[in-house]
Amino acid sequence: MTGSEASPSFRLAYVPGVTPAKWARIWNERLPDVPLTLVQVPAAEASDVLRGGEADAGLVRLPVDRTFFSAIPLYTETTVVVVPKDHLVTAAEEVSVADLADEVVFHPLDDVLGWEQPPGEPAFERPATTADAIELVAAGVGLLLVPQSLARLHHRRDLTYRPVVDAPQSAVALSWPEEATTDLVEDFIGIVRGRTVNSSRGRSRAQQSQDGSKTAAEKKRSDGSAGRRTAAGGTGGRKGAAGQKQSGRGTRGGSTRSSGSARGGRPRRHS
């Protein structure tokens, strides 16, 4: 990396109601040298943020454009109705959409449930945000259906909620531009899927690099040892050949002595 290149970092967008704290903690443990930046965005703007490159991946609400984005569904939330604590709905542990037919039900402009036809009686005007709708519920002028995480996010002491058994539900997914599946995106995929640090795809790149260097070093040592053994074997072979040659000379000399040679090695002449 040259001095002009930026240090690696990972930007994770997330929509209201989603809590990325657990995954962020694991990321910081596994990749301490790669800062994780959390970017909270309205649910309706999450796709534009990812398309524009303002985040590398996002914890978003489905659906997304699958011709452009990859997505891994993570969980589906229960839908609840938010009501004042003294409302009749609180007498039941859970309700149905039909139970709300006579109630004014707010349908804010940032609704994430994707109703074909919202239940209950429509309000005179649609609130701009879920937070605005919560204020109206607290004023006692209507009810609101939201994913349970949003009910908890906007918790008030004077409000409570009950599950709605047959309402549409909201699914949360990890999503990113398909053509931008980087190593860091793969690292985060491993984290949200619960892969261990020793998993082939779940380990941090730093750990993989360390393991790769270790393997290379071990291979180098192994190759060096093999080379020394080969060299030693070659030397032994030369010595063996030399010994055989020397032995051969000794055999010829022995054959001469056994034929009655004089000390000089030349036979005597007889007169």
Among 154, 184, 208, the domain-final residue is 208
Contacts of 219 (CB under 8 A, 6+ apart): none
Predicted local confidence at residue 236, as pLDDT: 47
Reading phi first (left if > 0) and then psi (alpha if -120 to 50, else beta), residue 48 is in: alpha
Per-residue pLDDT tens over the stretch 253-262 = 444 444 444 4
| Residue 215 belongs to a domain | no
User: Is the peptide bond preceding residue 8 cis, with omega within 30 degrees of 0?
Assistant: no
163 and 183 share one domain: no
Alpha-carbon gap, residue 231 to 238, rounded angstroms: 11
184 and 69 share one domain: yes
- State pTM to two decimals: 0.72
What total of structural domains would you count in the chain?
2
Q: Residues 21, 150: one domain?
A: no
Say if residue 96 is in the same domain as residue 139: yes
Residue 269 lies in a domain: no
Question: Where in the sequence is the domain holding 27, given as residue range(s)?
Answer: 10-76+171-208
Within this chain, do residues 38 and 155 fall inside the same structural domain, yes or no? no
156 shares its domain with 121: yes
27 and 160 in a common domain: no
Q: Flag whether 259 is in a domain.
A: no
**What is the share, in percent, of the chain residues with pLDDT greater than 70?**
70
The domain that holds 49 is classified in CATH as: 3.40.190.10
Both 66 and 87 in a single domain? no
Question: Per-residue pLDDT tens for 34-72?
Answer: 999 999 999 999 999 999 999 999 999 999 999 999 999
Please check whether residue 34 lies inside any domain of the structure.
yes
Does position 264 have pLDDT exceeding 50, yes or no? Answer: no
* Residue 178: inside a domain: yes
Say yes or no: 129 and 184 in one domain.
no
- Per-residue pLDDT reduced to its tens digit, 90-108: 999 999 999 999 999 999 9
If asked whether residues 163 and 175 sit together in one domain, one would say no
Residue 56's H or E segment, with its range, is: none
